[in-house]
Structures are given as C-alpha cells and as structure tokens.
Structure 1
Amino acid sequence: MTTMVEQAAHDERAASLRLGAHIRLLRHARSMTLVQLADATDLSHPFLSQLERGLAQPSLSTLRRVAVALETSPIELIAAADAPDEKAAEVEVHRSDERLVDDGFAATPARTLAHGTRPMHPLEVVGENVSAGEAYVHAEDEFVYVLAGAVRVDVAGDVLTLGRGDSVYYRGGLAHRWWSATGEAYRLLVVKQGPSGWRNA
C-alpha cells in the first residue's frame, strides 16, 4: 500500500520528468544544443542536463531564464509539468473562479486553460500595465482576442488599438507586446501555437 508521502514523492518525480521532457522538446524545436541553452541562460550544462532528465528542481527565477531562452513562458512550462502521465485529457474544463498566476515573465498575471503538451496553449491574461514593456519573440504563431477593456498591441513595430471583441493573429518570429490603451484593466484570451515536434502523449 502506497503512503501519502510516497505518492507525493512519486507525483513530484513524475512532474519533474514531464517538465524536463517539455524543455527538451522546446529546445529541439528551437534547434538549440544544451551548450547553447546554457550560454543563453547562464546556467551550467550539467544542471540543464539534469533538468531535462527530471533530476533537478528549478526555482521560479531559473524557470523564467529557461523560458525566456526557449521563447516561451514559465506558465507553459508549469502547465506541462502539471499534466497527467497518461494521454492528455480529451476534455479539460476550467472554471471562472480559478486563480490567475503572476509568473514573473510578462507584466501581467495569467492562467493556462489547457495543461500538458498540446497543439495550442490558450491563456487568460489580465493586466493594467500602461507602458509597453519588453517585446517577446517566439517561433510559434499566436492569436489574441480582447475579452474586456482596450489594449494597444505592437507587432513588429506596427501598433494596433484593439477593443472588446477585437482580435489579432500574428505569425511566429515577430516581436510583440501589449499594454492598456486607456489605463484601465484589460482581459485577453491568448492562444499560442504549440512547439513544432508536438505530439499528443
């Protein structure tokens, strides 16, 4: 009979393995070697090797460095770690009262709306930031739909103003960022394409 402590240890190990596998998938999708990832993150090659094999537990700041180097978000990495070992659920429900997480990556809190390695990563993003902040680039396409408020979206230097019900789709590889157009809060549905090489577990 498995004790609660043994089950917790098993679950933690399984999450570490899923996280490592997803980091490896993203690294391969970016055609990066471990040495290149080590250079980009200022982390050691042996540590990253252990991380990919599920033998290391990264801090949030370390996870952020890895996510930035792999052109993704810690939320996506955490969602991959939280996935079940078996095939990803065919139906996944999220309720409106679920907590948003400040992942320390973008300037705004967000919550993932699908866990695991999926062909797309939907996020709910809430913010009030009035400054443009840092632009982000990733290889995958992305779709942004404004649920509430108004935002300015800068895509490769082209600044668009979007209100409730408006949307924008942009190809991967384009620098992008968004901020409040009015100084008031906004809420977005952001759907990012999954990494190349994705396959359902």
Structure 2
Amino acid sequence: MEPTTAETATALGSTLRKMRRVRGLTLVRLADLAGLSHPFLSQLERGLARPSMASLDRIAAALGTSAVELLAGESDRREQVVSHVLAAHEGVVGPYGLGTARLLGPELLSFVPMDVRGANTEPGTVHRHSEDEFLTVLEGTPLIELDDTTHPLRPGDSATIAARSPHRWWSPDGEPYRLLVVKEAQGVARMHDALRDTTEVPEDWS
C-alpha cells in the first residue's frame, strides 16, 4: 500500500528532527540557516505542513544533505533484510544540487548509491558535507571543482571526495551528464567524525 500524504509528511518531519538533533541544531538555529521561519519548521517536524521544493532545498543545504535524501529519510531499520533489488522504474527521485538524483536502494547499508543527472551550465553553490563521497561518470563531460581546483571529466573517470571537502560539478557546454554517486550513510559518517575527532594513529601503525 502506498503511503498517504499525512504519512509522508510525518515521515519527513521525523527525518528533519533526527538530522537537526544529530547536528546539534535548535529549531531557531536551523530556521536562521535555512532562511525560513521557526514556526514553519516546527510544523514541518510535526507533520503538519508540506514544504515546497525550494524550501526543502534550503533546509537540506542548512543540514548539509540533499533534498532527495530528506525525501527518502534516514532509515534505522537495520533489523530488516538488507539484500535488495530495485527495478529501473523504482526509487525515490528528487533534487540533488542543480541536477536530479534517483536513489538506487534503501538506506539500510553503510552507503547510499544514486543515479545523478543534470545539464546545469552554472557551477552553483559549493557543497560540503560530513560524508565521504565517490562518483564515476557514466555519460557526458562535466567539470568538477574539488578544493578550488577544476578537473574535466569523461565517461569512466571518477572522483573521491573526502568529508568536508568543498566541491561542485557542472556541464560547461550544457550537454547532459550522468553520474553514479555513492555516499556514506549518515550513521557511518557520524561514526567516522567521532573517530577523526578522538582517535590518534599510533606512531608504529603500518
């Protein structure tokens, strides 16, 4: 059975609340970062309002994630079977940067694979997030900016983007591109953050 509008709104609100709390943000602070009102975000978290895609993009940017990942939700259902087959016509679809992404599986594993497509000629906003990210070019010849250096890409080329590294990509000639993007799941990224902040590598580590 397909979820109702009310169920979808409740699920989105729960995801927003989880992400906000994990990042240590109050509703007031998130509202300030997203340029939205505090009462509106409160209604969203309680499942009493539905955001426009523009508002969802602003909230996602403030949380350091993407609209498509907000729509899919943060799953903590680890007890469910993780083996999964996704048909070509299935998967959550939504905005990802200046393009569109389709999630290629449930967020039950330590990674989130996405089919990302776009044709944006403008680089857009520089993105930074707490997850490591990998991409490989399936189609097109986009440019990617990594740590203030621009690299031309062709089909078969790939890029590894370390957590918190500034990056963005675009099509210099407006031709469509298609990328396979794989990101860490939120929980794994939080664990890695903790390790980066607290763990020292022994001098004799080899």
TM bucket (normalised to shorter chain) is: 0.7 to 0.9
Which of 141, 148, 153 is the equivalent residue of 1:150? Answer: 141
Question: What are the Cα deviations for residues 170-192 of structure 1, in whole angstroms up to 9, with x where unaligned?
Answer: 11211111123665322101112
Question: What are the Cα deviations for residues 18-48 of structure 1, in whole angstroms up to 9, with x where unaligned?
Answer: 2122112221232211110011123222332
| Residues in 2 aligned to 1:52 and 1:61: alpha-carbon distance in whole angstroms | 17
| Residues in 1 aligned to 2:165 and 2:88: alpha-carbon distance in whole angstroms | 31
- Counterpart check, 1:113 vs 2:122: no
Decide which moves more: 118-127 or 29-38.
118-127
Look up the equivalent residue of 1:39 and give its one-letter code.
Answer: D
Q: TM-score, normalised by structure 1?
A: 0.77
| Residues in 2 aligned to 1:94 and 1:71: alpha-carbon distance in whole angstroms | 27
Which of 40, 44, 49 is the equivalent residue of 1:56? Answer: 49
Q: In the alignment, what sits opposite 2:62?
A: 69
Answer whether contact 1:80 1:115 (CA < 8 A) is retained.
no
Q: Kindly tell me: are residues 197 and 145 of structure 1, through their superposed partners in 2, closer, same or farther at Cα, counting changes over 3 Å?
A: closer
Which of 84, 88, 94 is the equivalent residue of 1:96? Answer: 88
Measured after TM superposition, the shift of residue 72 of structure 1 is: 1.4
Which of 142, 145, 164 is the equivalent residue of 2:155? Answer: 164
SS at match of 2:48: coil
Q: TM-score, normalised by structure 2?
A: 0.76
- Counterpart check, 1:80 vs 2:77: no
Aligned ranges for residues 25-64 of structure 1 at < 5 Å?
25-64=18-57
Measured after TM superposition, the shift of residue 120 of structure 1 is: 2.5
| Residues in 1 aligned to 2:58 and 2:46: alpha-carbon distance in whole angstroms | 18
Question: What are the Cα deviations for residues 95-154 of structure 1, in whole angstroms up to 9, with x where unaligned?
Answer: 335599562x52222212124565322211112233323221222111111112222211
Answer whether contact 1:153 1:160 (CA < 8 A) is retained.
yes
Answer whether contact 2:93 2:102 (CA < 8 A) is retained.
yes
Unaligned runs of at least 5 residues, structure 1: 1-6
The percent of aligned pairs where both chains have the same amino acid is: 40
Unaligned runs of at least 5 residues, structure 2: 191-206
The number of equivalent residue pairs is 190
Q: RMSD value over aligned CA atoms?
A: 3.1
